Structures are given as structure tokens and as C-alpha cells.
Amino acid sequence: GETGTGKEVAARTLHHGSRRTDAPFLAVNMACLPGELVESELFGHVRGAFTGADRGKPGLFAEVGNGTLFLDEVGELPLAHQAKLLRVLETRTFRAVGDTREQTFRGRLVAATHRDLRREVLEGRFREDLFYRLQVLPLELPPLRHRREDILPIVQHWLGRVASQALAVSPEAEALLLAHEWPGNVREVVNLARRVALFAEGGQVTAELVRRMLAANP
């Protein structure tokens, strides 16, 4: 799904609705990890594994235990690390950097991306075998502009969460919200709700306020 469609929220919902709910839910955005840190972050490292490794550190595959590990933007994973992720999925084992011992991955892996991984496979940027390993139960999250019936309930939900008082949205303001394209999806809704909650007066969300907030919404 596109950026901001709520992929991590969906993964958390899956986790908390399962038998793993009492175990950890850990999330990492692969796009935010420098390539040289990916292996250590995921698999951990032992003392002396590389310059500056003064002590060992467990990786996310160990820390998650029986819980759920959410790899966001898995399409950004470099090819060399894709092979190591594939090995974990195939063998349920991994090694910390600098270690010879195998550790067992006992958790569940959920991955997400905004990219078309089929195209990435065809263009040689994503491993075909890993693609099919991750395709066990695919879920496509459509952008908000393709599910406009959800826009007002999502806006109301977030206004209820962030506003210090109950806010009534005028029909004219609702029309503006429904007409907006929401390129930032749910994330943009959250930002808008926070701004509206700050500037709304008299418990009312007017069309003028929404118009100003949409124009200023990053």
C-alpha cells in the first residue's frame, strides 16, 4: 500500500488479535536503516564482531521472541540482505554478526512496502524467491482516495482522540474533507486532525477552518 495507508496499524491489529498478543510487537522501517547497520539491527552482533562492537547486542529477530516482527518498506532491503532474510524464512534460524551459533526465530514476520514488488523482481531489485516467500497472505491497503466512505469516520475518530473537547464538523466542512485527494492518506488525516483540534473555536469545525488547514497541511 501507499505511504500513510496504515500498514503498521494493520500489522498491530493482526498481532493483538492473535495468540501472540502478550508477546512483543516490534517494528522497523528498512528505509531508515543505513545499509551497514541492517544486519546488526536485524540479527544482532557479538562482542568484537566489528570495530566499535565493545559488547554484544541482540537483534530484532531475537528480541521479538514469540511475538510479531514488522518489517516496513521491505522493498528497500539491499539484495545481499534479502538473501539473509530469505534464509531466516526458510530455516527459521539466523546468526548474529560474528557468531557461529545458530539461533531460532520463534516469532511471526509481517512485511510491508509501498513498491510494486513484482516490478522490482522483473527489474532485478528484489529476489523472486523472497517475493514468493512473503506472498503467503498478501493484503493490499487501498489509498484513502479509493475508499472515500472511510474519510469522515477516520477524521471523526482522530478528532475524538486529539481534541480536548467534542467537535462538531459542519456539512460544508465535511464536503471539503470528502473532496480532498489525501495524498498522505491516513497520516495526513492525523496531521489535519491535530491542527484542527488546536484552532477550532466554540466546538465547531467550519469549512473555512478546514480550508485553511488543508492548505497548510504538509
* Residue 119 is assigned to a structural domain of this protein: yes
For residue 66 the three cell numbers come to 514469540
Per-residue pLDDT, 187? 86
Average pLDDT of every residue of the chain: 89
What is the CATH number for 65?
3.40.50.300
Q: How far apart are CA 6 and CA 204, in angstroms?
A: 27
End-to-end alpha carbon distance in the chain: 20
Residues 104 and 60 in one domain: yes
Instruction: State whether 123 and 30 are in the same domain.
Output: yes
What beta strand segments (E) does 15-170 contain? 25-29, 44-45, 57-58, 68-72, 93-94, 103-104, 108-111, 168-169
Find the domain containing 153 and state its range: 144-216
Question: Sorting pLDDT into bands at 50, 70 and 90, what band is 218?
Answer: low
Confidence at 86, pLDDT banded by 50, 70, 90: very high
Q: How many domains does the chain have?
A: 2
Whether the pLDDT of residue 50 is over 90: the answer is no
Q: In the numeric block, which cell numbers belong to residue 92? A: 527459521
Residue the block writes with cell 527459521 = 92
Q: Give the percent of the chain with pLDDT over 70.
A: 98
Per the domain annotation, does 152 fall within a domain?
yes
| Residue 39 per-residue DSSP state | H
Residues 111 and 190 occupy one common structural domain: no
